[in-house]
Chain A
Amino acid sequence: MEQLTFETMFAVFEEIFGRGLFWAMVVAAVVVTLAYLYVLIRDRELSMRKFLWAQLSMPFGAVLAVVFVQAMTHSGLRDIGGPVDVIVLLGIAAMGAVGSAILVYTAQSLVRKAPEQ
């Protein structure tokens, strides 16, 4: 890469997903994150009960993320060829896990009532 700037990165991501989908995903990620912060501030505590469910969803999110990427790219676990591939795989799994945890926690908080004072 000769000129790896943010503009190039955004241009590349826009081309991968299409401009609409890419920015929709950015907006979705921002909205979920903001909603997560909102429920944290509203409840002024991390509900361990909700957090437990969120944690339980993490392995599923991790596996789903990996399966999604592999299905999209005609590849499988047998194609892991070196350390960097393991890092990429774990990175994808970690993103899926954290994403699903935040999503599940936020969804529970928004759907259920705020805890009684």
Chain B
Amino acid sequence: MTDLHDLHSSRRAFLGLIAGGLATAAAVQPAPAAKLPTKARIVMIGAGAAGTSLVNRLMDRLDGADITILDPSAVHLYQPGLSLVAAGLKPASYTQSKTTQWLPKGITHIAEAAAAIDPIAKTVDTTGGTTVPYDFLVVAPGLVLDHDAIEGFSLDLVGTNGIGALYAGPQYAAKTWEAASKFAEDGGVGIFTRPATEMKCAGAPLKHTFLIEDIATRTAGAGKHQMHYAAHDGALFGVPIVSEKVRMLFTDRGITPHYSHVLKAVDPGKKRATFATPEGDTEMAYDYLHVIPPQRAPEVIRQSGLSWADKWTDQGWVEVDKHSLRHLRYPEIFALGDVAGVPKGKTAASVKWQVPVVEDHLIAAIEGREGSASYNGYTSCPLITRVGRAMLVEFDYNNNLTPSFPGMIAPLEELWISWLMKEVALKATYNAMLRGKA
């Protein structure tokens, strides 16, 4: 009987444990926090990845805030998909959606760009002539591609004369694939470039190189293509350990690196590209040339006095604290995404980690206290090395690798699972982020 009694008590204990566990699980579920009532006027410049994600999160946190978002573009671009479009793996439409479909109700959306920002008077003028006053301003207009900086190049060349430029947008990414697939079939010399400025996703020039090499070799067979990668400085990637890995992969794949070669001019008729190097200009002939132009902050940012005065002076990124993303001279201004003047991270993954930080500091400021969240420079790059494999490279300001799945998904290993993430899960995560859910 004692045994039976023990059994009963232990069963009761067991059931109690389950009940307790369920109760605890229910208790630790994040309860919907009470919304903060406020009349604050918040203006956001840009409804891209950063602006859209932040506005959706603020709507869940604030009650009564007067939020205005400015963006002239009717189309929202899923930019991480452009590499796939330029390799013929996805159609251009894969990267396009409507800007308004992601925006919440209860805000003011002005389909115009910012024409001027006055950080003293705290107003933003739109291109349509409206003046919008703000208590807090979030600057997230993205960046501009300076195609004119490359002599002889213009966007109407993309897709012809063996010229590709996937950064320029979905249609140009699709045209890039037209030029690249012709190169893959015909063989010849392929040159892949990157600019000397800060840029969106510094992994993308490498991805395009690896993908086209893989497709070319599969299409026409080995030995028919000469692949060249022009790096802007002495490394292939900003993070030294990743750069070394890429160098080894290049050796394996027969891709020749050319260090300190910055594209400055193209002669599409003769199919020759001119590079600035420390030893002077040098010319290279090509059958396929992938152009990524210099990248800068939009003119309105540079004109409004928000940029760093002593850093990136030719590029004009916004002068913010790299951990809080708050402007160093105007505390009611934050910058997010590509335009932020921080050492790393012009990627959607950076945005995913930056947005909660700005949200925290912004809400703290409305409440009259200091925020505590800090951005450590995290960014991630599913560095595709061929159709079907990628390396899930994640790192921070200090060039440390910061793997999300340590011991499971090795950051410097070419894996199918990393490719699956890029192909299947990344856009889904991105869209969830836009809705403020991830």
Contacts and interface: CB of A to CB of B under 8 A. Distances in A.
Nearest to B423: A73
B3 to A, nearest CB: 30
A81 B413 contact: yes
A116 interface: no
Contact of A85 (B415, B425, B437): B415
B83 to A, nearest CB: 13
Interface residues of B, number: 31
Contacts of A1: 404, 438
B414 interface: yes
B115 to A, nearest CB: 35
Contacts of A5: 30
B19 to A, nearest CB: 20
Contacts of B429: 12, 15
Contacts of A3: 438
A12 B432 contact: yes
Nearest to A78: B388
B171 to A, nearest CB: 22
Contacts of A2: 352-353, 356
Interface residues of A, number: 27
Nearest to A92: B420
Contacts of A44: none
Contacts of B352: 2
**Chief secondary structure at chain A's binding surface:** helix
Contacts of A16: 424-425, 428
Contacts of B424: 16, 72-73
Contacts of A84: 408-410, 415, 417
B326 interface: no
Contact of A7 (B413, B416, B420, B437): B437
B432 A85 contact: no
A12 B389 contact: no
A81 B414 contact: yes
B100 interface: no
Contact of B427 (A13, A15, A74, A81): A15
Contacts of A27: none
A14 B431 CA distance: 10
A13 B30 CA distance: 20
B416 A88 contact: yes
Given A75-B419, A80-B416, A85-B415, A11 B389 contact: no
B363 interface: no
Interface of A: 1-3, 5, 7-8, 11-16, 69, 72-76, 78-82, 84-85, 88-89
Interface of B: 30, 89, 352-353, 356, 386-389, 404, 408-410, 413-417, 419-420, 423-425, 427-429, 431-432, 435, 437-438
